[in-house]
Structure 1
Amino acid sequence: MPTIEASTDLPGDVATVLAVSLDLDVERAAGRRHRVRPVPAGPGSRTSGRIGAGERVRWSLRLHGLVPLRHTTEILEVDEATPGGGARFVDAMVSGAFAAFRHEHLFDPLPPSPTGAPRTRSTDRMTWTSPLGPLGRVADAVLVRRTLEGLLADRNAEIARRLSA
């Protein structure tokens, strides 16, 4: 099962970074390149604001401006920040192009900056299984990993921008 793990150091305490990371409007802004946007998907789904445990979001996107995709995820767990501790949330695909997809978001406090400002390390761990067996594994190597890494980098850059504003 392919895995991407990436860490980003962000300004702000764990609770603030978690709150910004759960905001669907961040995804919409970060996903402009692939026209990522949440679309209505019935009861229990959200299209804006902070998403929580048990809620779903259906994403519409257009990979490389050409390939339209729909991908529905559910927030499986949200572990809020504890004083001096970390936080996390996990989302997984309910329906979409992958055979399986899971994204774990971890937030750990870092020592304060030289000015005393709080900092948090955000670690993303994505695992997925592409459909179509050997053909899917070729797609993973040629296209899927690079696309997911780009989407993740765009998302983390948008979170950093919002926290720095």
Structure 2
Amino acid sequence: MPRIVLETVIAAPIVVAFDLSRSIDLHKRSTAHTGEQAIAGRMSGLIGMGESVTWRAKHFGLWQKLTSKITAFDPPRFFVDEMVQGAFRGFRHEHIFTEENGLTLMTDIFDYQSPCGIFGRIADTLFLERYMRNLLTERNRIIKEFAEDENKYCKVLQASV
């Protein structure tokens, strides 16, 4: 099972990084290149414990749906989303936040299982793990950009209320 671990240092309070990380609206911005849209469940605002969202996006030239649910939630330090239904055999995405000296360290731990047995493992090696790492890295770049710009994060968080 592949594991992707990313660490992003953000010059913003922990609560800002935490809330932007669970913003459906900001997630749509970070995945705009895939046409990703929330189509069921929590479709805008800030997702919370026990809530789910179904996404529709184009990956590898195919439209796909994926539903994930928040299964653990300890604001502003931690939350977990796990796939309920979708193209993977499963995934678990841990979002961990720590704050020190005015900086927030956002750590993503993304564990997933590809479908199709041996063919899925080959796809992981050839392209899928790199694709997922790039998708998460872009998401984190957008979170950092918005968290470090008060005008941007205020607009996103006001829209989320």
Q: How do 1:6-25 residues align onto structure 2 when only pairs under 5 Å count? A: 6-25=6-25
Say whether 1:50 aligns with 2:34.
no
Counterpart in the other structure of 2:152: none
Once the two structures are TM-superposed, the CA of residue 3 in structure 1 deviates from its matched residue by 0.2
- Quote the offset at 1:109 in angstroms: 0.8
What's 2:98 paired with? 108
In the TM superposition, 1:1-165 aligns within 5 A as 1-40=1-40, 45-64=41-60, 66-81=61-76, 87-111=77-101, 118-165=102-149
More helix as a share of residues = 2
CA distance in structure 2 between the aligned counterparts of 1:59 and 1:142, rounded to whole angstroms: 25
1:145 is matched by which residue type in structure 2?
A: E
User: What is the distance in 2 between the residues matched to 1:62 and 1:31?
Assistant: 10
Mapped to 1, the partners of 2:36 and 2:105 lie a distance apart of 25
> What is the one-letter code of the residue matched to 1:56?
S
TM-score (norm 2): 0.89
Q: CA RMSD in A?
A: 1.0
SS in 2 for 1:26: helix
* TM-score, scaled to structure 1: 0.87
Calculate percent identity across the aligned residue pairs: 32
Report how many residues are paired: 149
Distance 2:98 2:20 in 1: 15
Structure 1 segments, 4+ long, off by >2 Å, are none
Highest RCO, 1 vs 2 (Cα 8 Å, sep ≥ 6): 2
Q: What one-letter code is carried by the residue in structure 2 that aligns with 1:162?
A: F
CA distance in 2, matches of 1:48, 1:12: 23
**Counterparts of 2:147 and 2:16, CA distance in 1:** 8
Q: For the residues of structure 2 that align with 1:160 and 1:154, how far apart are their CA atoms?
A: 10
Deviation sequence 1:21-76 (CA, Å, 0-9, x none): 11111110000121222112xxxx11110000000000111014x11111100000
Q: How big is the shift at 1:110?
A: 2.4
Give the number of the structure whose alpha-carbon radius of gyration is greater. 1
Structure 1 unmatched ranges of 5 or more: 82-86, 112-117
